[in-house]
Amino acid sequence: MLSGCTRSSSAEPGAVTVALDQNPDSLDPRIGQNAASQHLAALIFSSLVRKNEKYQIVPDLASDWEMPDPRTYVFYLRHDVRFHDGTQLTSRDVQYTFRSLLDGTVSTIKAGHPYNLIDSVEAPDPYTVVFKLKDVYAPFLWNVAVGVIGVIPEGSGKDFSRHLIGSGPFKLVRYIQDQEIVLERNDSYFGKRAEVPILRFRIIPEEVVVALELRKGALDIALQVLAPDMVEVLKHDPNLKVVEAPGTNYQYMAFNLNDPIFRDLRVRQAFAYGIDREQIIKYLWRGLARPAVGLLPPNNWAYNRDVRTYSYDPQRARSLLREAGYQHLTFTYRLNNDSDTARQMASIFQQQLREIGVTMVIQGNEFATFFADVMKGNFQVYSLRWLGANNDPDVFNYVFHSKSTPPNGANRGHYSNPKVDQLIELARRDLDLEKRQAAYHEIQHIVAEDLPYVSLFYMDNVCVYNKRIEGIRLYPAADLDFLNDIRIASSN
């Protein structure tokens, strides 16, 4: 399939070319929501803090911070930070960034939770920022980190995305939609200077094209954009290397709990018992995934391994359907038709569910239509992934709180359990880590019983790259932060 390619050198000496499978929805860090937006924003912008490889909060623009009381955060900024245009970054820029989220300067979903918990942002001197919150919010630091939000210059308007100025390790040179995004090293960056002078991101949604371009040498790096079958083929190319590592990205199957069929817990349980995850991991993912038991990954401090699980048991699945009054059941599965692997996985679901007496009708649409319908509740069942957001246990508020139905959050299946709501609120407002952990453990126990999601897999991170690239290091959520440290091997 991939034979007969002519190898060519990289387009620009010193440049590293990286595959992206989607356009960013916005490069303005106050607006961008999709994975491409957040990954690129982390390269272009700085924020008060950042997350390291272990998802611990470490300094970024702020060299230190303190909490005089549970609702007040005081950040002390570095004195040596300049924006890409050479102007000094001060507390007034931080103040402006967060105020612009809340005063309508930009139209963004981020104007809602959690930033609407900010009561005031003050800049008492050029290098001190004081946030006062309306309520105690334990995950606040996570939400002022690089990739979640980025600090922009004071006075930046609604058209900021056309004239991006950040203070991160790279600066934007050009962005041509559906084609490429080119970043140039920021030689005045306050942190460790990047090794490579140019990063060129090519937007290529087609997996086979990515594979061909890797073999030709026109692409240097492809992270999480290739089907496992293609990865297996590329492992045999002497000019390419493949690195794999356990990841935290979480694949799930979601039910619309307003639908009379899926309102019945026994039907949801039947689906959970009727899906053979091990078979899908072995044959579709080629072993590049692990069975999931819940939304949080196993390396998370709040993860609870002692929850109800649903091993493959088609006989039990058929029995549950009979108890629910179904000798035969038909439903519609909504599919993102843009993804080859999503189509293949849907076909496997269809085959496995047929064995328990369920007919699955597949309705495929391009992603924009598919996702718009999911947000409107126009679905019975769908499957997607959580990418990165599930590394913070406050994701339960966004995904499962009864008040977080769209457009206020991602509770797209309209799950509602008053006890879960209560525990989410407790965990968000209590600064005692042990009490928060206990609350999150109980949330996971209840959600595993209620089954608004069928947990499928934690996806491994897979990077295919040209052997001329050194320093590849995979982060658990497949972030692109490692691009700060890569280098081009010296010629012999």
Domain ranges of the chain: 11-203, 247-459
- Does 185 or 22 have the greater pLDDT score? 185
In the predicted model, what is the mean pLDDT of residues 364-372? 91
In the predicted model, what is the mean pLDDT of residues 45-70? 93
Q: How far is CA 465 from the centre of its chain?
A: 22
pLDDT of residue 389: 79
Q: Is the pLDDT of residue 478 over 90?
A: no
Distance CA 139, CA 429 (A): 9
- Does 294 or 51 have the greater pLDDT score? 294
What's the number of CA atoms in the CB half-sphere (13 Å) around residue 49?
A: 21
List, for residues 237-274, the tens digit of each pLDDT value. 999 999 999 999 999 999 999 999 999 999 999 999 99
Q: Is the pLDDT of residue 299 over 60?
A: yes
pLDDT of residue 341: 86
304: left (phi over 0), alpha (psi -120 to 50) or beta: beta
Distance CA 352, CA 348 (A): 6
pLDDT of residue 430: 92
pLDDT of residue 6: 37
List all residues 6 or more positions away from 354 whose beta carbon is below 8 Å from its beta carbon: 360
In the predicted model, what is the mean pLDDT of residues 393-404? 94
pLDDT of residue 11: 54
List, for residues 377-390, the tens digit of each pLDDT value. 999 999 999 987 78
The domain made up of 247-459 has a fold known as: Dipeptide-binding Protein; domain 3 (3.10.105)
Distances in Å between the Cα of 190 and the Cα atoms of 50, 77, 163, 291, 485 are 14, 12, 21, 41, 15
The domain made up of 11-203 has a fold known as: D-Maltodextrin-Binding Protein; domain 2 (3.40.190)
Q: How confident is the model at residue 158 (pLDDT cuts 50, 70, 90)?
A: confident
Q: How confident is the model at residue 409 (pLDDT cuts 50, 70, 90)?
A: confident
pTM metric for this prediction? 0.87
Tokens of 8: 């060519």
pLDDT of residue 8: 40
Pairing of strands 15-20, 198-203: parallel
pLDDT over 90, % of the chain:
78
Question: Is-same-fold flag (11-203; 247-459)?
Answer: no
Q: Please state, rounded to an integer, the average pLDDT across all residues of the chain.
A: 92
In the predicted model, what is the mean pLDDT of residues 368-375? 92
pLDDT of residue 7: 41
Q: How confident is the model at residue 419 (pLDDT cuts 50, 70, 90)?
A: very high
List, for residues 280-290, the tens digit of each pLDDT value. 999 999 999 99
Candidate from 30-39, 86-95, 177-186 with smallest mean pLDDT: 30-39
In the predicted model, what is the mean pLDDT of residues 391-400? 93
Q: Is the pLDDT of residue 130 over 90?
A: yes
Q: Is the pLDDT of residue 113 over 80?
A: no
In 256-339, the DSSP E strands lie at 289-291, 329-336
Which one of 144-153, 186-195, 223-232 scores highest in mean pLDDT?
186-195
Tokens of 355: 């064995």
pLDDT over 70, % of the chain:
97
